[in-house]
Amino acid sequence: VQAYYRYLYAFNKFTLTQQQVAARKQELDCAESQAEKQRATVDLAQSQQDADSSKEDMKAAQSDLASVVGAPAARSVIKTVSG
């Protein structure tokens, strides 16, 4: 059960960081002044780093889940959660 919740948390965190990256890209596209563009570029870089980190966390949680419940069950859970 703990491995499932860890994976669910990691997946939700990954999804959120992907949304943040998309928002930061929009922010950069809409920036009008040079200062806004600079700030948006820094925010985008930080968001991308966060997304990479959360992706690694999700992969670790997937491996943990597979080691606890087995690969077939883990695939089923991952498929259900990720839609």
Residues 60-80, mean pLDDT to the nearest whole number: 94
Which of 43, 57, 62 lies closest to 14, judged by CA? 57
Predicted TM-score (pTM) of the model is 0.85
Specify whether the CB–CB gap between 11 and 77 falls below 8 A. no
Q: Cα separation of 58 and 34, whole Å?
A: 36
Specify whether the CB–CB gap between 3 and 65 falls below 8 A. yes
Specify whether the CB–CB gap between 44 and 21 falls below 8 A. yes
Confidence of residue 82 (pLDDT cuts 50, 70, 90): confident
Q: Give the list of residues 6+ apart from residue 32 with CB closer than 8 angstroms, or none.
A: none
